[in-house]
Amino acid sequence: MSDSIAIGLMSGSSLDGIDLVAVRFQSHYQFEILHAETLPYPKLWQQRLANAFLSPPEALTELDRSYGLYLGQQIRDFIHRNRLRPDFVASHGHTIFHKPEQQYTLQIGDGQCIADTCGVLTINDFRTEDVSKGGQGAPLVPIGDKLLFSDYEICLNIGGIANLSYDEKGRRIAYDICIANQALNFLAQREGLAYDKDGALARNGHVVGPLSQALDNNAYYRQAPPKSLGREFFETYQKTLLETYPAKDALATFTEHVALQIANSVNQLPTGKMLVTGGGANNTYLVERIQHHTPHQVCIPDRQTIDYKEALIFALLGLLRLERKTNVLCSVTGASSDSCSGKIWTPNS
């Protein structure tokens, strides 16, 4: 598999859409992104995914299958549009529940449905094995940070959830820091916008002291890693708090909250270069506030790396699975051992 073409697929908790990337891997994990697209969700799918965690088991089973068919159709169209001949597809799926403390995690998007619909070998379900070993099943991106982005001392991703990874004494350390775009997009939508472009609304708001204190005063931030977050953290602990205040002020406060939580997480590390990717890297005000609070050199890469790094790394996870190599690190997740994780689905001819 040293020279192969893969399609990586990511759907983040902020419900922006599906990130698709076609990448050629060569020896020593050198890579070239061939094509990359974000496909926004139609309103119906956005609503179905946002409300899925309230669904009964039988409805989730049907959603898993129908979402797999939907993903397969999007991949098939992506292949045809770009005249690709991929060797495999690696799909993260969409997280509905993530409760590792109960040894339970669910990412929907039935792998057999994807494979049958797009006609390509498919790997999915990268988290379950690690959770069964007592791990968090997250984050999964650090193996890619280590193999593909080793020029940076710290890798920070700001998507629906902000997370980071770095090497410490030869071991990769990584964890989820805080909710990020899930909350920022929710607040922008109260103002009739899909998201707060460049952080303009937040820049014109005021930080509300009591809200800031309430957000910071959560036991999660005092836990030692490994640790991880799911959408239910926002829905349960933060959404009601934010709804109490005007959207601009809530945005200003939550943006500062994210910047400070990131700084709290990285400022004890030796000063170095910090790669920032994910949708939050496009939020110039948030990036300014992070740089204000940290001595690290904040590095914003090209737009393709910002937007598609996670999809790229899921393609790598699929490659490592097919090569029978470690793709989930127990130093990151807290599991009893490393894993070569992911279920493989062959298209039914």
Distances (CA, A) of 283 to 287, 305, 331, 341: 6, 15, 31, 33
Say what the pLDDT of residue 1 is: 54
> Which one-letter DSSP state was computed for residue 237?
I
Q: Residue 278's domain spans which residues?
A: 142-304
| Number of domains comprising the chain | 2
Q: Mean pLDDT over residues 278-295, rounded?
A: 97
| Confidence tier at 230 by pLDDT (50, 70, 90) | confident
CB 102 within 8 A of CB 136: no
Tell whether 331 is covered by a domain: no
HEC states along 91-156?
ECCEEEEEEHHHCEEEEECCHHHHHHHHCCCEEECCCHHHHHCCCCCCCCCHHHHHHHCCCCCEEE
Tell whether 310 is covered by a domain: no
Burial 166-204 (b: 16+ CB within 10 A, else e): bbeeeebbbbbbbbbbbbbbbbbeeeeeebbeebbbbbe
First to last CA, the chain: 23
- Judgement on whether residues 107 and 255 belong to the same structural domain of the protein: no
Q: Tell me the whole-structure pTM to 2 decimals.
A: 0.86
Q: Mean pLDDT over residues 190-216, rounded?
A: 97
Mean pLDDT, all residues of the chain = 94
| Confidence tier at 138 by pLDDT (50, 70, 90) | confident
- Judgement on whether residues 108 and 250 belong to the same structural domain of the protein: no
- Judgement on whether residues 98 and 228 belong to the same structural domain of the protein: no
The per-residue pLDDT for range 32-65, each reduced to its tens digit, is 999 999 999 999 999 999 889 888 889 999 999 9
Tell whether 242 is covered by a domain: yes
Name the strand (E) or helix (H) holding 309.
helix 303-322
| Confidence tier at 100 by pLDDT (50, 70, 90) | confident
- Judgement on whether residues 163 and 299 belong to the same structural domain of the protein: yes
